[in-house]
Structure 1
Amino acid sequence: MEMERKFGNCNELANTQETLEETQNKGVVIALYDALKIRDVEVIQKILAPDLEWWFHGPPTHQFLMRLLTGTDEEDTTTFTFLPHRISAFGSTVLVEGFDQTRSIAWVHAWTVTDGIITQVREYFNTSLTVTRFGKTDQSDYNNITSLHCPSLWESSLPNRVGKSVPGLVLAI
């Protein structure tokens, strides 16, 4: 009862069981990070769609994934290692969050997996990200202001070491 009073009725969010699709999509993304870690180009090419849609939000100097996948990442001190700290799946969307504490960088990748292939990635660096899901509504819902509230499905958890103030964005899935 205390949780319901504190957080409200969250029946939709209480179902934490992943579907088979979500488990499979998560596996595809985990396989990508494993391949990135050892720089297995063949596996990476099999996992990523050739026409991958890419969105980036952050400083241009933080385009580590782009440089890694295009081969412009030099083997020196600027090399960035993506170590996921948290992975969550919501249908075809897989969210991965990580931190580089030595550089005070927090990052989130929002991957879209279609038929076992990654077709889209949205990258966020040093940005607080909240993910929400919009449901189907009919015309009568527009008369009710409470239907405009979109519950949070996922929120990034920035460590204290990452900047004092970061922009906050909402990603609707």
Structure 2
Amino acid sequence: MDVINNNVKSSNPNITTVRNLYTALGSREREISGLIASDLEWWFHGPQNCHHMMKMLTGGTTTCSEDFKFEPRSVDAIDDCVIVEGWEGAQVYWVHVWTLKDGVITQFREYFNTWLTVWDLKPLNCFRSATLWQSHPTDLAKRSFPGLMLPI
């Protein structure tokens, strides 16, 4: 498994692609062509009013999504997935899981205000599967998040 922590400089091209996406989305031009497949598969878990990234990716705008800034706090890679985590104060915690094929983002999973664990379920003996990644929300002492398991 290729697990790369944000604190370590990486030459992983998938991480570079995803970081380029966040940079582009943070600019006024929002030029993302060539980074995302035209038939992007998207999955969302969270409150209906938090579809900020999909609105950014599709060009749909609302005052809320225009004001919302995705500022990654950690970026990790596991195989062909890049996991990005961020939080905005004590109100919003998010995790994005981007799947890439040949340097292009083909799938996007977005999770808001949940504790996420990524498990490797590829081995035949699933009972010995390893935890590959676990989210790190900063305010768990103040409130609890529902837990989700994402198999890869």
Give the TM interval when normalised to the shorter protein.
0.7 to 0.9
Q: Which secondary structure state, in structure 1, belongs to the residue aligned with residue 77 of structure 2?
A: strand
Superposition RMSD on alpha carbons, in Å? 2.7
Find out whether 1:120 has 2:107 as its counterpart.
yes
Task: Give the unaligned 5+ runs of structure 1.
Answer: 1-11, 142-146
CA contact (8 A) 1:85 1:97 kept: yes
Alignment partners' CA distance in 1, 2:65 and 2:97: 26
Counterparts of 1:66 and 1:110, CA distance in 2: 13
The counterpart of 1:23, out of the listed 7, 12, 16, is: 12
Query: How far is 1:91 from its partner?
Result: 1.1
**Aligned ranges for residues 113-152 of structure 1 at < 5 Å?**
113-137=100-124, 141=125, 148-152=127-131
Note closer, same or farther for the CA distance 1:16–1:54 as it changes in structure 2 (3 Å cut).
closer
- Alpha-carbon contact 2:55-2:65 (below 8 Å) kept: no
Of all paired residues, the percent bearing the same amino acid is 40
User: Of 27, 40, 48, which residue of structure 2 is paired with 1:38?
Assistant: 27
1:25 aligns to what SS in structure 2?
A: helix
Q: How many residue pairs were aligned?
A: 148
Provide the rounded CA distance (Å) in 1 between the counterparts of 2:40 and 2:28.
Answer: 18
> How far apart, in 1, do the equivalents of 2:4 and 2:147 lie?
25
Change (3 A) 1:133 1:75: same
CA distance in 1 between counterparts of 2:28 and 2:41 reads 21
- Contact preservation (8 Å) 2:99, 2:108: yes
Q: Which moved more, 1:148-157 or 1:161-170?
A: 161-170
Question: Which of residues 62, 73, 79 in structure 2 aligns to 1:74?
Answer: 62
Structure in which a larger fraction of residues adopt helix = 1
What's the TM-score, normalizing by structure 1?
0.76
| Uncovered stretches (5+) of structure 2, i.e. residues with no partner | none
Q: Counterparts of 1:73 and 1:152 in 2: how far apart (Å)?
A: 37
* 1:109 corresponds to 2:96: yes
Q: Are the aligned partners of 1:94 and 1:112 in contact in 2 as well (CA < 8 Å)?
A: yes
Question: 1:68 and 1:162, CA in 2 relative to 1: closer, same or farther beyond 3 A?
Answer: farther
Distance 2:78 2:112 in 1: 21
